[in-house]
Structure 1
Amino acid sequence: MVAKHHTRRALLGSAVAAGTLTNIPARAQVSGAGRPRLRLGIIADLSGPYADLSRPSEVCARQALEDFNVSARGWDVDVLVADHQNRADVAVATARRWIDQDGLDALVEVSTSATSLAVNTIVREKNKVFLASGPGTSDLTGAQCSPNTIHWVWDTAMLARSVGSSVLRQGGDSWFFLGADYAFGHQLARDTTAIVQGGGGRVFGSVFHPFPGTTDFSSFLIRAGSSGAKVLGLCNSGADLITCVKQAREFGIARRMKIVGLLTYDTTVHSLGLQEAQGLQIAATYYWDLNDRTRSWQARVQPKTPKLYPNMVTAGIYSSTMHYLKVVADMGVAEAKLDGAAVVARMKAMPTDDDCFGPGRVREDGRKLHPVYLLEAKKPAESRHEWDMLKVVETLTPEDGFRPISEGGCPLVRT
């Protein structure tokens, strides 16, 4: 029997009023006698500056359910989705309600640094599972690491080590940072400063813009342009980064400084267009055209998100959900639901492998390890179609791309 459920239009309408979106699919309402049920949650920016980055999140989680064939295993799986509005209090309230009232088993995404750090504490307190793909803060595997949390895709330390060191090698030895005024922006500037100064470069200053809501970056860009630095390091992302790049070109700053988007997704390159983005180098852990496995996965998921290709974050939601499902199958659903920390421990013990990231592993501090790719935006003439945007210029091993475990200060790490 299929229970009555809300239409997606009605859910979106109520979400605007309530500040959250909960989407429980019709299939998940069918519960035969003795059928185990899992509930997964995604809390992301669905209406703010990172909305385009987050929109394929639910599609990618559901692709994992399809590829793992949960229905044939006799499982019922709900996917709950909410907009945190870039507010930590909204994210915490949503997580608490889902865990206390709706029986949530695992959060497979909380998409920004400030919201993820707030939710990280709740998940540990409630002994559930938190798989984070979108947050940048390296504190999730550092001072605030948790036995219930795995940080899956990237972090600020990875971006600093890969992009920062690459630009430094190319002669970019003096920097000025412009970033978003919250945990992610500040930590990315700090991490990259350490790399630049450690490599013999200098940092001439930094300035942070209010987040979210800034649309005029002129005063920040003028300050950066007058600093005398060779490199403008942008410690923001999404719509903010796009606007910064466009305004920097309008004001002529791009002629005097090398603009580096320290967190630039392929989605962002697409929004900029290759005419604006050509030559831009970015660091990523996933791109749809890396190899046969990524191209095969893209072909499966693309009909479900025709206007936006998944980026490394939403691909990470697929990857982490797949690994979680493998561990739940190994442990048994009933046992897995009892102890989130035990599930995460088993996820660390079991090697990872999926079509988006290939073989990998989860480190003791909760850091998921996989290669890091330095990609360069193609010239318009090199592109075969609108999403053929990037080419690989360098591949870093997980050990070279991510912060050494000894430097993170995670209290879970045995010394």
Structure 2
Amino acid sequence: MKIVIRTCLAVAAALTALPVAAQISDGVVKLGVINDQSGPYSSLTGPGAVLAAKIAVEDLKPQLGDIKVEMLTADHQNKPDVGSAIVKRWFDVEKIDAVVDVSNSSVALAVQSLIRERNKVALYGIVGTTELTGRQCAATGFSWVHDAYALVSGPTKTLTRGASDTWYFVGADFEFGKNMVKVAKTLVADHGGRTLGEIFHPMSELDYSSYLLQAKSSQATFVAFANAGSQLVNTMKQWQEFGMQDGRQKPIATLLSIADVHAAGLDVMQGLTATTAWYWNLNDDTRAFAHRFFERFKAMPTESQAGMYSAVTHYLKAVIATRSDATDTVVRWMRATPVNDMFARNARLREDGKLAHDFLLVSVKSKAESKAPWDYYRIDAVVPASDAFLPLDASDCPLVAGAAKSR
């Protein structure tokens, strides 16, 4: 009996002494960062998001110990079929554990179907469509940075005070732009305002003159742009060329990145109002991360790039804490543990997959107001998570509906 007991204890000790990596499938944690690497949204996400994810891995190296982390990258070219094919190959051949960023609504919806089928994790960045955490939500898909509701709730709720406040929308003609305009129009109506018109342009558009002239002729109080990246930059350059900076109409960006402001310059972008999930110059923690990022990228991080650092950090902390990369195990830890880092404070993953965090309502400074390079935003208000996101009781995510029925 003593021999048996000693043998069992020896086996138990040996198992306990196994390296953490032995608990990891295939002996490695694999992440796949896919986004727009060279198109209109590459400055918002692109190579900068890849770098942010790498910095997250580097920062956690002491805690990771002998857990090996590998990272693949790809450009989906803003095409759902291209993105879907890449991610499918990653899952089936490369055996990746989590998809990171995506940052295109149409591609994200395609990826969402794949993670649901294969029980994998997706950490989405600047995906606008509310469908991702609405009717097409997934238990393992997480919207980290924003969605259309969060982006438009700040300006529409703050600026619309009655029927005299009118809106005209110029949007990109794909899932992101259409969803953004749809949500914004609903919020404008809910706060007593009126929408005077909407028009959509192709993704590849370079000449926005006809769209801006229609917006101008509408005489709407606010002209909101449901586009981003180089599209928004070109729109605002032509806004200035047409003399629309005369103050008669106020420009609103439903998705503004500091990279956009830097590309166009303060003379072009000054006065533009938007909601953002993060700003590098907010506090000591955001500045510390931003300066580290700047040293390697020569540009300040966007909200999406900062968000991907946060998302990858939270995912890997779950791997470290649970000594596993099994999807269900990791997801349980992620959902149960609040996010506390330079991107978000005391933020939690909701049942629908949204990371509920505060937002900032900002306006672009003039040259006279800006005190240093990249000092581009004036913070007008903090939009608390409770106001920024669609209330859970209004969600059409099946995961929330099931939970609500059980309460």
Q: Same fold (TM over 0.5)?
A: yes
Hey, what does 1:16 align to over in structure 2?
A: none
Task: Specify the SS of the correspondent of 2:38.
Answer: coil
The match for 2:316 among 306, 316, 325 is: 325
C-alpha distance in structure 1 between counterparts of 2:21 and 2:305, whole Å: 34
More displaced, 370-379 or 247-256?
247-256
C-alpha distance in structure 2 between counterparts of 1:293 and 1:359, whole Å: 15
Hey, what does 1:49 align to over in structure 2?
A: 40
C-alpha distance in structure 2 between counterparts of 1:176 and 1:142, whole Å: 26
1:72, CA displacement in angstroms? 5.4
Q: Deviations over 1:219-263 (max 9, x none)?
A: 222222222322111010110011111112212344342111111
Hey, what does 1:220 align to over in structure 2?
A: 211
C-alpha distance in structure 1 between counterparts of 2:138 and 2:380, whole Å: 35
1:384, CA displacement in angstroms? 2.7
Task: Specify the SS of the correspondent of 2:43.
Answer: helix
The match for 1:89 among 61, 76, 81 is: 81
Cα contact 2:279–2:303 (8 A) shared by 1: yes
The match for 2:106 among 111, 114, 121 is: 114
Instruction: Let me know the Cα RMSD of the aligned residues.
Output: 2.0
C-alpha distance in structure 1 between counterparts of 2:199 and 2:342, whole Å: 39
Hey, what does 2:56 align to over in structure 1?
A: 64
Letter in 1 for 2:347: G
1:401, CA displacement in angstroms? 1.3
Task: Specify the SS of the correspondent of 2:398.
Answer: coil
Hey, what does 2:16 align to over in structure 1?
A: none
Q: Deviations over 1:110-152 (max 9, x none)?
A: 1111110111100111111001012111111111110110111
Hey, what does 2:10 align to over in structure 1?
A: none
Cα contact 1:150–1:344 (8 A) shared by 2: no
Identity of counterpart residues, as a percentage?
37
Letter in 2 for 1:317: M
Hey, what does 2:6 align to over in structure 1?
A: none
The answer to whether residue 398 in structure 2 is matched with residue 411 in structure 1 is: yes
The match for 1:349 among 333, 336, 345 is: 336
Instruction: Look at both structures and tell me which one has the larger radius of gyration over its CA atoms.
Output: 2
Hey, what does 2:361 align to over in structure 1?
A: 374
Cα contact 1:322–1:354 (8 A) shared by 2: no
The answer to whether residue 267 in structure 2 is matched with residue 275 in structure 1 is: yes
C-alpha distance in structure 2 between counterparts of 1:236 and 1:157, whole Å: 15
Hey, what does 1:259 align to over in structure 2?
A: 251
Cα contact 1:96–1:122 (8 A) shared by 2: yes
Cα contact 1:40–1:105 (8 A) shared by 2: yes
C-alpha distance in structure 1 between counterparts of 2:277 and 2:76, whole Å: 25
Hey, what does 2:225 align to over in structure 1?
A: 234
Following TM superposition, where does structure 1 have runs of at least 4 consecutive aligned residues deviating by more than 3 angstroms?
Answer: 32-36, 169-172, 253-256
Cα contact 1:179–1:235 (8 A) shared by 2: yes
Hey, what does 1:393 align to over in structure 2?
A: 380
More displaced, 272-281 or 387-396?
272-281
1:171, CA displacement in angstroms? 8.9
More displaced, 139-148 or 165-174?
165-174
C-alpha distance in structure 2 between counterparts of 1:197 and 1:395, whole Å: 23
Q: 1:364 to 1:71 in 2, by over 3 A?
A: closer
Q: 1:206 to 1:409 in 2, by over 3 A?
A: same
Hey, what does 1:8 align to over in structure 2?
A: none
Hey, what does 2:306 align to over in structure 1?
A: 315
TM-score, with structure 2 as normaliser? 0.89
The match for 2:151 among 152, 159, 174 is: 159
Letter in 2 for 1:118: A
C-alpha distance in structure 2 between counterparts of 1:220 and 1:317, whole Å: 33
Letter in 2 for 1:51: S
Q: 1:288 to 1:170 in 2, by over 3 A?
A: farther
C-alpha distance in structure 2 between counterparts of 1:355 and 1:257, whole Å: 35
